[in-house]
Structure 1
Amino acid sequence: MKPHISLADPMSPQALHSLRAYYSELAAVFPGGFDPGPFPGDGLDQMRPPLGLFLLALAGENAIGCVALRGDGTPTAEVKRLWVAPAARGTGLAAALMAEVEKRAHQMAISHLVLDTSRYLPAAIAFYRRHGWTEIARYNDNPYAHHFFEKPLTDPKSTL
């Protein structure tokens, strides 16, 4: 079954399941674990329209991936929480989630995306580089982040 990507509330049961799975994986990989702060976390209003969004990839009723866009009303927004379930990795789902978040960001008049990631996630670093993201200087105080990226969005119609 091909996954379906759809807009979701970040507090929905499927979204919370995805976030818990994501945080659990980070805790297992990061030396010293991972503390997401108050769960489900601050800033969820910035991951809901009109400022941002939260996308879920569903296989039937099962959440197998997610990505969020955290906005503040400016032309720049931050991509957060890209996660794909282990069983769905290698299928192109991460690329599909990122393409969808970029498309929807452009529709929201967002022209510039940023994101951060950890040195303990080398596959993520390689993924972002392969998909047109450019490394930039640190833009936040996230203690788990070591790599920072940006991507300007162009009109999808101009590349056809």
Structure 2
Amino acid sequence: MSDDRSQVSVRVVPADLPEVDALLDRYLDEREATFPSAQGNYSRKRTPAAEFVPPNGVFVVATDGPVAVGCGGLRRIADDGDDVRFEVKHVFVTPEGRGRGVATAMMDVLETAAADFGATSIVLDTNDSLVAAGAMYRGRGYERVPAFNDNPNATAWYRKPVRRP
């Protein structure tokens, strides 16, 4: 891996590509292996690829040259009154890609897509054991909110209003 962040690029891809499957398998394997035992068993639930199709969603892969180092998705979920909500899902950066701004670059693309699709807010859930992820989300302006889903793996739910340029 290069130390030059300029080597990292993010591209929108179909969520059913083999490279996406490989990244999501690594993500689910890592989460299952590191899931806090006090919370029970990790639920290996993958969002169907069909939910990441424009204009209701998008999926991205980050690469360092030819090597895939991260992925993440965005999908529309049920509106909350006048709030048009899109949810960030499956944000993952490989150990080789961490600490290089990969997650930030992917979130930039996902948030821009949400705005382009007409979102008024972006929501996500995570687990408090993912300290770096929580810090990144809060640093991007996400605020903790009450649970908006019943994800058994989640302990924290966040929302960020979409600001129009």
TM-score, structure 2 as length reference: 0.86
For residues 79-98 of structure 1, the aligned pairs below 5 Å read 79-98=88-107
Instruction: List, as ranges, runs of 4+ consecutive aligned residues in structure 1 with deviation greater than 3 Å.
Output: none
For residues 5-20 of structure 1, the aligned pairs below 5 Å read 5-20=10-25
Residues 118 and 10 (structure 1 numbering): CA distance in 2 closer, same or farther, change over 3 Å? same
Q: Is the 1:7–1:56 Cα contact (8 Å) retained in structure 2?
A: yes
Q: Is the 2:127–2:153 Cα contact (8 Å) retained in structure 1?
A: yes
Q: Is the 2:8–2:65 Cα contact (8 Å) retained in structure 1?
A: yes
**Unaligned segments of structure 2, at least 5 residues:** none
Residues 125 and 133 (structure 1 numbering): CA distance in 2 closer, same or farther, change over 3 Å? same
Which of 112, 116, 120 is matched with 2:121 structurally? 112
Q: How many residues align structurally?
A: 153
Per chain length, whose mean CA-contact separation is higher, i.e. which structure has more relative contact order (CA < 8 Å, sep 6+)?
Answer: 2
Q: Is the 1:46–1:72 Cα contact (8 Å) retained in structure 2?
A: no
Residue type at the aligned position of 2:140: H
Show the counterpart of 1:130.
139
1:25-72 deviation per Cα after TM superposition (whole angstroms, max 9, x unaligned): 1011112553323xxx34321111121010011223321111100114
For residues 4-153 of structure 1, the aligned pairs below 5 Å read 4-30=9-35, 31=37, 32-37=40-45, 41-72=46-77, 74=79, 75-153=84-162
Q: Is the 1:52–1:70 Cα contact (8 Å) retained in structure 2?
A: yes
Q: Secondary structure at the match of 2:44?
A: coil
Residues 33 and 26 (structure 1 numbering): CA distance in 2 closer, same or farther, change over 3 Å? farther
Measure the CA separation in 2 of the matches of 1:123 and 1:45.
29
* Aligned-residue RMSD, C-alpha: 1.6
Shift of 1:73: 7.6
